[in-house]
Homo-oligomer: A and B are copies of this chain.
């Protein structure tokens, strides 16, 4: 076991105690926490404090950008503005008004007279969240956690260190002013703290990792705590011979170029004999967007000016404006290619043929499977989930875009009047098993 920094253990234990307090709070109680946080973030002296800290972070970041050590995109994400903070306050208000998901009885069954079993939803407990340099994520993630009765330990990008520190201090002050333990929100300082956190499998119930695939894999390999995150986003767009050429061009361009670094962007275009017109349209559209295209031999027979693709291309998540193109013999061959190389994230086909669409949708093993729509729709906001914690390529618990539901589990509660198990069984008492509230 890796060394565990004592202060991280301390933070985790405080968070666990604070989480237990949150779990026992009422729904209206959890709602008012969110409203109090939003109110505080709307106050002018809080704003001044946050923006001053952010200005210092920005100053350092701009120097690093000038030296070529930070990308302009990262510096943009780091900036906090009054408008961003207004948006955060709105978001917290909406979250406050959402249906409380804790304490819901989704099964009630009389096992016998005066022996009643209930399955009741409850928080997971303590979340560990490691995220990129975007300080607005602090109140967002803390809001999602607190709304569902969870405590949370946060570790953001080091470029946002000062902003995150002030934001977490404000959150903790607000918790305290609400009579709650401030330990429900904690901040980790550096990367070694994350390593320590990952060893605390009794204290931390779920790790949410947001960042590069390599980072998520790193986290997964170092912990026995469940990790919510997507280790990879290797998505395909398949052109059936019935694909409409203009639709193929529009969707291919959106799915590759909308945001090439996104996990729901495509990396490989598959096409089958008969789909040549759709392929031509897609290739022309992608070229206009300066996408670097790499083709298999059969594709290059149609488009000789493409770079040749090697076998490595089929398993590469480019995360930039590069796309590999491969001819497959038919739908089943497309399915086999996707099964072999896909990351079970999002897979799409373009087809006018209903039978092909139905077969594709019924067969692909992925969190999201689309027909005649861009893979870029695979996103919590676009799905209407309210807020997105992340996208999971695992199959258990929560799959695809994960909203607040992913922060909830359940307990089995049994209330009796002295019953013992050895009174039941063959030749003894029978269970009644009368279900009053069925599981949906």
* Chain A residues engaging chain B, CB cutoff 8 angstroms: 16, 20, 23-24, 106, 109, 111, 115, 117, 124-125, 205-206, 220-221, 224, 226, 244, 246-247, 250-251, 253-255, 258, 339, 357, 361-363, 365-374, 376-379, 382-384, 394-397, 399-401, 405, 409-422, 424, 431, 433, 435, 439-440
Contacts and interface: CB of A to CB of B under 8 A. Distances in A.
B384 A415 contact: no
B254 A414 contact: no
B370 A414 contact: yes
B416 A371 contact: yes
Number of copies of this kind of chain in the complex: 2
A376 B420 contact: yes
Given A111-B384, A125-B365, A383-B412, A373 B418 contact: yes
A109 B414 contact: no
Contacts of A205: 395
A106 B368 CA distance: 15
Contacts of A412: 367-369, 378, 383, 399-401
Given A20-B363, A416-B372, A394 B111 contact: no
Given A414-B377, A433-B384, A420 B372 contact: no
Contacts of A440: 106, 440
A117 B379 CA distance: 12
A223 to B, nearest CB: 11
Nearest to A247: B418
Contacts of A435: 384
A409 B421 contact: no
A411 B111 contact: no
Contacts of A411: 366-369, 399-400
B226 A424 contact: no
A383 B254 contact: no
A94 B229 CA distance: 38
A418 B244 CA distance: 9
Contacts of A395: 124-125, 205-206, 226, 409
A100 to B, nearest CB: 15
A371 B254 contact: no
Contacts of A431: 382, 384
A372 to B, nearest CB: 5
Contacts of A413: 361, 368-371
A440 B412 CA distance: 18
A367 B361 CA distance: 36
A251 B423 CA distance: 11
A336 to B, nearest CB: 9
5 contacts: A205-B395, A369-B414, A372-B415, A396-B397, A399-B410
A431 B379 CA distance: 13
Contact of A421 (B16, B109, B254, B417): B254
A384 B108 CA distance: 11
Contacts of A125: 365, 395
Contacts of A106: 440
A362 B20 CA distance: 9
A371 B421 contact: no
Contacts of A401: 412
A412 B393 CA distance: 12
A409 B420 contact: no
A397 B379 CA distance: 21
Contacts of A109: 383-384
